[in-house]
């Protein structure tokens, strides 16, 4: 890493079927106020709702959760089995970048207005504006001068060289604009959307941020804000008084995994009070029991081993709002999807589901839990 980053443990806070994006609080406040139409348009097109779930200390960055909107195309196709796609995350980051640029324009509005005044011209009849000044009026020519002008206009050099010069100039201008855009992107921090200060580059993925922005982001989640690659060991805010028990039934076969028995995982949490790392410290939460199923196959046991490690790191559950009941201050799943039914397929969170073991492995790897 280009610069040492704080190694404080972080707490993972996300709900089932949702994802988090870290952005500057100033940019989010702008989107929530003056940029609200942009935010509404994003939510309509993506079928997701953006809500702030945690503000950083000293007005730094904040965590925004993207949650499927009820009745959108995402929810109509069935329960969401994976996190928000990288393309959707990028669309939201681009929206924040546009908001940041608009904020910068408004801050420099008086100066910018003065610099553009000489370039403003009237609209052409076809509705298109032009930043070029109108051509100067041409003097009237005599008949002899007009004949001489036509002869010169047909000169080979004038007819071939000038268009080539214009094409070369246009190509050079385009390449220069692309180069300038790429250079601008490389100097913008995707967290605060401003010019990078004290450049800090993550050694595994190569993404670059402001030093202070990255330190604050790592306090929320110790992973790259762009690609979500984990750095260090994540520690979640799952209630610490829970237990994970495993039972095996060799006679129960899960659909799609015939020939193997069934692994039954029982999670138990007694009631308690939220700690400082939870949304509402001091508020009581009810206890809960959750049951999940895995095939007793080599792949299923590999996932079971990863789930044990995730449970020890307090990553499987969190305290928040239930996606199914709408109740607040309850224990909920934390983006690691479990099969809570034996039958019914993906729509009922059950089997058969040919890609489930691969998907849950990827979700665990995103949290830094790797198979041994």
CATH number where 344 lies: 3.30.390.130
319 and 195 within one domain: no
Please give the share of the chain, as a percent, with pLDDT higher than 70: 68
**How confident is residue 287, by pLDDT bands cut at 50, 70 and 90?**
very high
Find where tokens 């925004």 sit. 64
Task: Write down the pLDDT at residue 128.
Answer: 36
328 and 259 within one domain: yes
CB under 8 Å to 361, separation ≥6 — which residues? 302, 303, 306, 371
248 and 199 within one domain: no
Q: For the chain, what is the radius of gyration of the CA atoms?
A: 29
pTM of this structure: 0.46
User: Is 39 within the bounds of a domain?
Assistant: yes
Residue 101's domain comprises: 19-107+187-220
User: Is 126 within the bounds of a domain?
Assistant: no
Task: Write down the pLDDT at residue 340.
Answer: 94
Q: Which of 32-41, 99-108, 355-364 has the lowest mean pLDDT?
A: 99-108
**How confident is residue 228, by pLDDT bands cut at 50, 70 and 90?**
confident
337 and 269 within one domain: yes
The answer, yes or no, to whether residue 350 has pLDDT greater than 90, is yes
289 and 210 within one domain: no
Asked whether 299 and 355 are in contact (CB, 8 A), the reply is no
Task: Write down the pLDDT at residue 283.
Answer: 95
User: Is 134 within the bounds of a domain?
Assistant: no
pLDDT in tens, 244-271: 999 999 999 999 999 999 999 999 999 9
346 and 257 within one domain: yes
Tally of domains within the chain: 2
207 and 66 within one domain: yes
The answer, yes or no, to whether residue 188 has pLDDT greater than 90, is no
Task: Write down the pLDDT at residue 10.
Answer: 29
Ranked by mean pLDDT, the top range of 103-112, 171-180, 184-193, 321-330 is 321-330
The answer, yes or no, to whether residue 305 has pLDDT greater than 50, is yes
pLDDT in tens, 11-61: 233 333 346 777 888 888 888 888 788 888 888 888 888 888 777 655 567
78 and 201 within one domain: yes
**How confident is residue 2, by pLDDT bands cut at 50, 70 and 90?**
very low
User: Is 227 within the bounds of a domain?
Assistant: no
Cβ atoms within 10 Å, residue 123 = 9
215 and 253 within one domain: no
Find where tokens 């709408």 sit. 326
Cα–Cα distance, 102 to 42 (Å, whole number):
16
Task: Write down the pLDDT at residue 300.
Answer: 96
Q: Find the helix packing angle between 86-107 and 25-32, rounded to 10°.
A: 90
Task: Write down the pLDDT at residue 299.
Answer: 96
216 and 75 within one domain: yes
For Cα atoms 251, 253, 256, give the angle at the middle one, nearest 5 degrees.
Answer: 165
277 and 212 within one domain: no
User: Is 164 within the bounds of a domain?
Assistant: no
Higher pLDDT pick, 87 / 3 = 87
Higher pLDDT pick, 146 / 314 = 314
Which is nearest to 337 in space by CA: 327, 351, 321, 325? 351
User: Is 234 within the bounds of a domain?
Assistant: no
262 and 203 within one domain: no
User: Is 128 within the bounds of a domain?
Assistant: no
Asked whether 11 and 236 are in contact (CB, 8 A), the reply is yes
- Mean pLDDT for 267-285 is 94
Q: Which of 5-9, 40-44, 164-168, 251-255 has the lowest mean pLDDT?
A: 5-9
User: Is 133 within the bounds of a domain?
Assistant: no
């Amino acid at each position: 890493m280009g610069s040492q980053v704080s190694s404080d443990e972080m707490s993972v806070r996300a709900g089932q079927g949702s994802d988090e994006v870290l952005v500057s609080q100033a940019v989010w406040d702008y989107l929530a106020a003056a940029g609200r139409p942009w935010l509404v348009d994003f939510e309509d097109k993506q079928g997701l709702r953006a809500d702030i779930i945690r503000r950083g200390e000293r007005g730094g960055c904040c965590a925004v959760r993207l949650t499927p909107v009820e009745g959108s195309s995402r929810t109509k196709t069935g329960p969401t089995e994976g996190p928000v796609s990288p393309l959707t995350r990028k669309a939201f980051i681009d929206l924040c970048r546009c908001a940041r640029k608009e904020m910068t324009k408004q801050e420099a509005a008086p100066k910018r207005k003065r610099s553009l005044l000489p370039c403003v011209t009237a609209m052409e009849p076809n509705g298109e504006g032009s930043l070029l000044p109108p051509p100067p009026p041409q003097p009237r020519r005599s008949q002899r001068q007009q004949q001489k002008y036509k002869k010169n206009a047909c000169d080979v050099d004038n007819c071939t060289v000038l268009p080539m010069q214009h094409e070369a100039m246009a190509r050079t201008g385009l390449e220069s604009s692309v180069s300038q855009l790429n250079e601008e992107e490389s100097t913008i921090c995707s967290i605060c959307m401003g010019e990078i200060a004290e450049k800090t580059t993550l050694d595994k993925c190569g993404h670059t941020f402001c030093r202070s922005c990255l330190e604050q982001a790592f306090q929320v989640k110790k992973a790259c804000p762009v690609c979500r690659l984990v750095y260090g060991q994540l520690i979640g805010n799952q209630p610490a008084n829970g237990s994970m028990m495993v039972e095996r039934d060799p006679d129960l076969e899960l659909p799609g995994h015939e020939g193997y028995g069934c692994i039954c995982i029982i999670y138990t949490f007694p009631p308690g009070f939220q700690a400082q790392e939870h949304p509402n410290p001091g508020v009581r939460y009810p206890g809960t029991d959750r049951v999940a199923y895995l095939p007793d196959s080599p792949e299923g046991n590999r996932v079971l081993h990863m789930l044990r490690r995730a449970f020890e790191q307090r990553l499987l559950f969190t305290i928040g709002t239930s996606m199914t009941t709408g109740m607040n201050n309850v224990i909920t799943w934390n983006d690691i999807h479990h099969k809570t039914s034996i039958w019914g397929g993906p729509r009922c969170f059950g089997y058969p589901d040919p890609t489930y073991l691969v998907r849950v492995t990827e979700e665990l790897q995103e949290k830094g839990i790797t198979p041994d």
